[in-house]
């Protein structure tokens, strides 16, 4: 019996090493597929980390608030997607539906779910910035807070049909909000807001982490 126990302990140590090694190797090359649908008043740029260079890069953007834009890309699990949104008028909104891993997790802006929703930076900047530059994101400063939440995007679908393609996602903006006529408590004023959303973790990474931790526990017991 003692011999069997010793064999199991040695096996546990090997499992630990294999699990941790798998996790490290997987993380170095990991990427999560992202399908981002977004509408912004007035213009915006999407940024994400390139999984091969680990550099923040511009994915794309738009400047037609009546249109929904679709971006499909990959980003490292646990990294962040950023959106600089710039408003010039008397109303402002950011509306988004984000699907990770082909449906593993879906995040609707302004709607509580199992994965954390979009955050907005506490610094609200002017309109005279280069919204296409990753350096603007990296040097933005400030902290992060829960955004103001307005009406569901679908309430505008009669005028702007694309807004009916976000399920029940709600419009968000930097506090106090993007305008009382679209459900916010107030209007922040024209300027530029920075939003971020964390990329959902790949299930395989969680499995590898679990294997590694289980093995480390076994290794610790063996040393005792």
**% of the chain residues with pLDDT over 90:** 75
State which H helix or E strand residue 20 sits in: helix 2-28
Radius of gyration of the chain (CA): 22
Res. 10 pLDDT band, cuts 50 70 90 = low
**pTM for the structure as a whole:** 0.81
Measured CA distances, 195 to 12, 33, 139, 220 (Å): 44, 19, 14, 43
Measured CA distances, 84 to 4, 53, 71, 146 (Å): 60, 22, 15, 16
Among 192, 223, 203, 217, CA closest to 12? 217
Res. 11 pLDDT band, cuts 50 70 90 = very low
Q: What is the tens place of the pLDDT at every residue in 28-76?
A: 458 999 999 999 999 999 999 999 999 999 999 999 999 999 999 999 9
**% of the chain residues with pLDDT over 70:** 77
Q: Is the model's pLDDT at 99 over the cut of 90?
A: yes
Measured over the CA atoms of residue 211, residue 102, residue 109 and residue 77, the dihedral's sign is positive
What pLDDT score was predicted for residue 118?
Answer: 98
Mean pLDDT, to the nearest integer, of 187-200?
97
CA separation for the pair 128, 23 (Å, rounded): 43
Q: What is the tens place of the pLDDT at every residue in 83-98?
A: 999 999 989 999 999 9
Q: Is the model's pLDDT at 21 over the cut of 70?
A: no
């Amino acid at each position: 019996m003692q011999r069997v126990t010793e064999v199991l302990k040695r096996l546990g140590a090997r499992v630990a090493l294999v699990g941790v090694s798998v996790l490290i190797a997987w993380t170095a090359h990991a990427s999560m597929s992202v399908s981002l649908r977004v509408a912004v008043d007035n213009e915006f740029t999407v940024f994400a980390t390139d999984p091969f260079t680990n550099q923040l890069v511009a994915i794309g953007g738009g400047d037609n608030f009546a249109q929904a834009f679709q971006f499909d890309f990959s980003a490292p699990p646990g990294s962040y997607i950023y959106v600089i949104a710039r408003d010039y008028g008397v109303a402002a909104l950011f509306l988004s539906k984000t699907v990770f891993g082909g449906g593993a997790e879906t995040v609707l802006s302004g709607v509580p779910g199992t994965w954390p929703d979009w955050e907005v930076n506490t610094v609200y900047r002017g309109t005279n910035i280069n919204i296409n530059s990753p350096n603007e994101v990296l040097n933005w400063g400030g902290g992060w807070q829960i955004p103001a939440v307005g009406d569901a995007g679908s309430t505008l679908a009669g005028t702007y049909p694309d807004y009916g393609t976000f399920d029940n996602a709600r419009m968000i903006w930097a506090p106090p909000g993007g305008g009382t006529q679209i459900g916010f408590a107030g209007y922040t004023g024209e300027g530029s807001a920075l939003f971020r959303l964390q990329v959902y973790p790949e299930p395989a990474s969680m499995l590898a982490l679990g294997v590694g931790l289980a093995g480390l526990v076994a290794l610790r017991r063996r040393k005792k």
